[in-house]
């Protein structure tokens, strides 16, 4: 390999897509206007992944290596230069060197929320406006190392941190209960899974919204039945409004 400027190797971020402003469709910040920066690459392969185009290395050629300055310039273009909350998503954005993007964005008034499964820890978690930890339940086919999740929580320090668990079935629900028991101090959001995620190359694929709604109602019943009054149950609002369509 030839010599490359150190800054480029250290700071270049793999980006799958940047889009918005639209509203955050999920979790604690639901309904909040935001720009999404979706990074490429993931250490997980969830069976029901709804963002395979940002996960599977088969789509690597659609990802772009970008320095933080260029990403921020793109965000500013989208927002007309008016500061907004930026959502860092993926893939697993924790695998990317996002520290300088966050630092530069904050200097211009932007704030950053990030969603990650909690499998990779980075010191800059502490600079986020919100860290959403989303350990993956059994239906994903993935396993969770709770010590790493706990390390994410510790590393986030004063940054508001919440749990978000996708729930497809009873086993996933039990997993959510366990997560909540392990991190009693964290607010928890439950989200009914989408069993009709888009194939990576077809974001016009039909969503079984009625099936998802049915799961949502089941989840509300579960929470009520178990008197789990501290949990919040929220759907994927963007799927309700726009189906599997990307960029909204």
What are the residues binding a second copy (CB under 8 A)?
20-23, 30-33, 79-80, 82-85, 189, 213, 216-217, 220, 223-224, 227-235, 237, 240-242
CB of 21 to a second copy, least distance (A): 5
105 is in an annotated binding site: no
42 is in an annotated binding site: yes
123 is in an annotated binding site: no
CB of 166 to a second copy, least distance (A): 14
Maximum Cα–Cα distance for the chain, whole Å? Answer: 62
38 is in an annotated binding site: yes
CB of 20 to a second copy, least distance (A): 8
Q: How would you list the strands of the sheet with 85-89, edge to edge?
A: 64-66, 13-23, 33-39, 85-89, 111-116, 130-133, 161-167, 188-192, 232-233
CB of 53 to a second copy, least distance (A): 23
CA gap 115, 155 in Å, rounded: 15
Cβ contact 15:38 at 8 Å: yes
Cβ contact 136:166 at 8 Å: yes
CA gap 62, 245 in Å, rounded: 17
135 is in an annotated binding site: yes
Please, which residue, 171 or 241, has the CB nearer to a second copy? 241
- Point out the annotated binding site for Mg(2+): 51
Residues comprising the binding site for S-adenosyl-L-methionine? 48-50, 91, 134-136
């Amino acid at each position: 390999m030839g010599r490359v400027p150190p800054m480029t190797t250290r700071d270049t971020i793999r980006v799958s897509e940047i889009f918005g402003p639209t509203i955050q469709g999920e979790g604690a910040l639901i309904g909040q206007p935001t720009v999404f920066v979706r990074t490429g690459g993931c250490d997980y392969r969830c069976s029901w992944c709804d963002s395979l185009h940002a996960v599977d290395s088969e789509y690597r050629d659609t990802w772009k290596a970008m320095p933080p300055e260029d990403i921020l310039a793109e965000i500013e273009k989208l927002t007309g230069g008016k500061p907004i909350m930026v959502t860092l998503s993926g893939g697993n954005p924790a695998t990317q060197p996002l520290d300088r993007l966050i630092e530069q964005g904050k200097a211009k008034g932007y704030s950053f929320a990030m969603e990650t499964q909690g499998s990779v820890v980075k010191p800059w978690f502490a600079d986020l406006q919100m860290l959403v930890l989303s350990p993956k339940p059994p239906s994903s086919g993935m396993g969770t190392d709770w010590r790493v999740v706990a390390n994410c929580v510790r590393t986030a320090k004063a940054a508001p941190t919440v749990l978000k668990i996708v729930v497809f079935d009873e086993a996933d629900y039990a997993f959510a209960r366990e997560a909540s028991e392990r991190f009693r101090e964290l607010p928890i959001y439950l989200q009914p899974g989408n069993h009709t995620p888009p194939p990576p190359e077809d974001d016009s694929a039909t969503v079984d919204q009625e099936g998802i709604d049915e799961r949502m109602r089941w989840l509300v019943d579960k929470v009520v039945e178990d008197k789990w009054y501290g949990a919040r149950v929220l759907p994927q609002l963007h799927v309700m409004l726009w189906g599997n369509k990307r960029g909204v």
